[in-house]
Structure 1
Amino acid sequence: MTRYDTAFRAAVEGAEVAQRLFRTELDVETKSSKMDFVTRADTETQRRVIERIRDDYPDATIVGEEEDELKSVPEDGNAWVIDPIDGTTNFVRGAQLWTTTVAAVRDDETVAAATVAPALGDTYAADSDDATLNGERISVSGRTDLDQFIVAPVLRYGSERDREFGELLRELILRFGDLRRFGCAQVTLGMVACGTLDAAVSTQPNPNPWDTIAGVHLVERAGGTVTDVEGSPWEPGCEGIVASNGTRHDEVVGRVARAVR
């Protein structure tokens, strides 16, 4: 069983657990803020994903959003990065834009990723070479006119940094063709990978690995470019994220940078 196969199966089986609980009566708790939700769907989904991974790799190192799993990716060795429900606010409100996501990492390099959006009927996946959507190979858009770019902000920062987030939104709407915000980082990055969006950006420092790693891998395997907000190669824990189709990436970085000056 390859790591790609395991990541794919774990994401699919986890998503099945979450989908069964979607739009049902759930007790909703909050974590760090009034808009940071968690339900038993998150914990039960994560447990199912871990069970599937450990069926194939009993000694697997797990990095996961919920419970007591690691919260950062080890620099050496193999690890599995899990987001049982990315877009929990959407999930809680009954909106269909949420995913179950699994990435396999070896020595700090992503080797496989799967993002399943069961309520949308979409499954994104990538091995070391290609990215697919529902089994069909995908690529980023070929658009070059920034005035026609559709750009999505990802990773809202919390109420204490709402002013900064507002500045980012202002810059995006002024300097690109249009913007979208979906409230689910992984599905947003998947949309960049398949060309639905031309870029996705965040100026949030130290974005969580479960919010980013799988989607970054999808974009890169689909031919896109991903950096931090300074234009340096993206890696977990860096400053922000700029993921684009690559045609005008430096200019996208420059326009996003204006929002944090």
Structure 2
Amino acid sequence: MADEHHRAAVAERAARSGGVVAREAFRGDLVVETKANKNDYVTETDRDAQQQVVATIREEFPDDGFVCEEELTQFVGPESDADDPLALDAVPDSGAAWVVDPIDGTANFVRGLHTWTTSVAATVDGAAVGSATYLPATGDLYAAGPESVTRDGRTVSVSDRADPETFAVAPVGWWDRDDRTEFGDLCTAVVERFGDMRRIGSFQATLAFVADGGLDGAICTTPMYLWDTVAGVHMVREAGGTVTGLDGEPWEFDSEGLVASNGEAHDELLAAAADALD
């Protein structure tokens, strides 16, 4: 347990340190590139923030592996571009690893919108033991350790709403231009089954908002990356919520889709996902 507390504390410190780097560049002159499509942004700040996160963790755990959104290179100097031997493409079943998203919600970051995060999850033997999601532009820090979830140091939990007609639910994910019908169907299913809909633009922020009761649920029907999910899934569960795949089974790293809720009407969220995929 002591090791879990230590790792949770380092996750929190690392998320904050990387977030500070990103915040310094926010609304400044950014170097913006695209990856998979013209709306899939990456900036030099993503890479700088990630480097700071990794450096902070390595001060305490120099031999642990990393699953990171941006390419991980071994930092031996300002011009280093050597492959890092601790870079991983999956969370290992044994040993320790860290899952890092330096800026989750880069599209918001690029547009000058406040909802983006620096998120870090600590895993041991294939399970998350601590996570942190920092929203640098607003100053909110969500942290999940072995015993509780906090926002800015105060304990939080999922909402206690039970009536789906009072729920605020967020569709999460990205749909290619030729898959937008599914996105529209999911939005329709959400507004027909629940009280209101939100689209946040950051997967990790969305899960943090489920964990603190600001949202009652989130649905993702598209493939997702580990850095978009692991920290927030751990957070929702530690806050008393439920996270499954689209099949209703507990969410795992290789699950199809993701459905997160306060646990009070989880079947209704699964039904909304099924409506979108029919």
Aligned partner of 1:102 in structure 2 is 120
SS at match of 2:277: coil
Q: Does 1:194 align with 2:212?
A: yes
Is contact 1:87-1:185 (8 Å) kept?
A: yes
Q: Does 1:253 align with 2:270?
A: yes
Match of 1:190, as an amino acid? Answer: A
Q: Alpha-carbon deviation of 1:104?
A: 0.2
> Of residues 12, 30, 47 in structure 2, which corresponds to 1:43?
47
SS at match of 1:239: coil
Q: Does 1:74 align with 2:78?
A: no
Is contact 1:168-1:256 (8 Å) kept?
A: yes
Q: Alpha-carbon deviation of 1:162?
A: 1.7
Q: TM-score, normalised by structure 1?
A: 0.97
Q: Alpha-carbon deviation of 1:160?
A: 3.4
Q: Alpha-carbon deviation of 1:26?
A: 1.0
Q: Alpha-carbon deviation of 1:108?
A: 1.3
Aligned partner of 1:217 in structure 2 is 234
Q: Does 1:113 align with 2:164?
A: no
Superposed counterparts of 1:56-75, under 5 Å = 56-68=60-72, 69-75=87-93
Is contact 2:186-2:272 (8 Å) kept?
A: no
State how far apart, in whole Å, the 2-side matches of 1:137 and 1:230 are.
Answer: 31
CA displacement 1:206-250 (0-9 Å, x = unmatched): x10000010111110110000011101101121111000001112
Aligned partner of 2:183 in structure 1 is 165
Match of 1:220, as an amino acid? Answer: R
Segments of structure 1 that go 5 or more residues without pairing to the other structure are none
Q: Alpha-carbon deviation of 1:70?
A: 2.6
Match of 2:208, as an amino acid? Answer: G
Aligned partner of 1:85 in structure 2 is 103
State how far apart, in whole Å, the 2-side matches of 1:24 and 1:141 are.
Answer: 36
Is contact 2:241-2:262 (8 Å) kept?
A: yes
Q: State which drifts further: 248-257 or 213-222.
A: 248-257
Match of 2:119, as an amino acid? Answer: T
Q: How many residues align?
A: 260
Q: Alpha-carbon deviation of 1:31?
A: 0.4
Q: Alpha-carbon deviation of 1:159?
A: 2.4
Q: Which runs of 4+ in 1 moved over 6 A?
A: none
> Of residues 13, 16, 20 in structure 2, which corresponds to 1:9?
13
Is contact 2:219-2:269 (8 Å) kept?
A: no
Over the matched positions of the two proteins, sequence identity in percent amounts to 50
Q: Does 1:231 align with 2:248?
A: yes
Q: TM-score, normalised by structure 2?
A: 0.91
Q: RMSD of the alignment, in Å?
A: 1.1
Is contact 2:104-2:203 (8 Å) kept?
A: yes
Aligned partner of 1:138 in structure 2 is 156
Is contact 2:185-2:275 (8 Å) kept?
A: no
